[in-house]
């Protein structure tokens, strides 16, 4: 396997109301191989979501370097965004569009030619063929998240950053959605980094890291 993502001495701080900087991520380093999966665990407020935003170039880092496919990720640089996909807790589907139109939307925004065979494969893997012409307002939470995953996968990203994707779902529905997510990513060879509080989900990934007081470790305590 080739190295997909390399994070070297990443540090990120935020200014507080007292003007004193608070270090959220402190000297974090790790790597991810192509086709590999990783979970990031930690208490609320530990910086898990901030880490994903920095990795995707949505927030600037203070110190360190991030390389994606041997190229540096720079804050707000759109080149990387076409090969990095996101799945969030909130589905962010467009109510005025039906399911199929929602799935196509990011690809059309990125002006990517959509492979209909690949579209059908994703739809089949996620078991959403019967939903394509329905409006998103008539879907369950689990169905909406499967649509959001399909929308991300259709752009054929090399890496997916998933931030508590089942956080708004009940336990049973969340388990079904995540089982499908793991299965589809494995089938397509898509790497992902999963932020989660769920130990069962974390244990299904290739590697697990824990964030605590700004530091990241492969040891839980």
Q: What is the pLDDT of residue 40?
A: 97
* Residue 167 domain flag: yes
- For the chain, 221 residues long, the average pLDDT of each consecutive 10-residue run is 92 82 94 96 92 91 93 71 85 94 90 90 94 94 94 93 90 92 94 94 95 90 69
Structure tokens at 149: 């995953």
* Residue 204 domain flag: yes
Can you name the residues that pair with 159 across neighbouring β-strands? 84, 191
Number of structural domains the chain divides into: 1
pTM above threshold 0.85: yes
* Residue 6 domain flag: no
DSSP 100-169: HHHHHHHHHHTTPPP-HHHHHHHHHHTT-GGGTTSBGGGS-HHHHHHHHHHHHHHT--SEEEEESTTTTS
Range of the domain at 123: 37-60+74-217
CA-nearest of 123, 141, 115 to 180 is 123
What's the CATH number where 96 sits? 3.40.50.300
Q: What is the pLDDT of residue 15?
A: 81
């Amino acid at each position: 396997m080739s190295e997909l993502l390399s994070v070297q001495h990443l540090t990120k701080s935020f200014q507080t109301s007292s003007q004193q900087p608070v270090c959220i991520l402190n000297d974090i380093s790790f790597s991810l191989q192509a086709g590999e999966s990783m979970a990031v665990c930690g208490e609320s407020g530990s910086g898990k979501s901030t880490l994903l935003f920095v990795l995707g170039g949505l927030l600037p880092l203070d110190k360190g370097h991030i390389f994606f496919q041997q190229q540096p990720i720079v804050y707000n640089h759109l080149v990387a965004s076409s090969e990095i996909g996101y799945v969030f807790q909130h589905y962010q589907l467009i109510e005025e569009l039906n399911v199929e139109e929602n799935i196509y939307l990011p690809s059309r925004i990125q002006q990517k030619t959509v492979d209909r065979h690949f579209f059908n494969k994703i739809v089949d893997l996620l078991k959403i063929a019967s939903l394509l012409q329905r409006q998103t307002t008539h879907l369950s939470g689990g169905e909406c998240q499967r649509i959001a995953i399909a929308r991300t996968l259709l752009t054929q990203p090399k890496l997916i950053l998933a931030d508590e994707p089942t956080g708004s779902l009940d336990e049973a529905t969340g388990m079904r959605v995540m089982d499908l997510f793991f299965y589809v990513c494995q089938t397509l060879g898509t790497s992902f980094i999963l932020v989660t509080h769920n130990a069962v989900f974390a244990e299904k990934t290739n590697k697990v890291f824990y964030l605590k007081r700004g530091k990241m470790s492969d040891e839980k305590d």
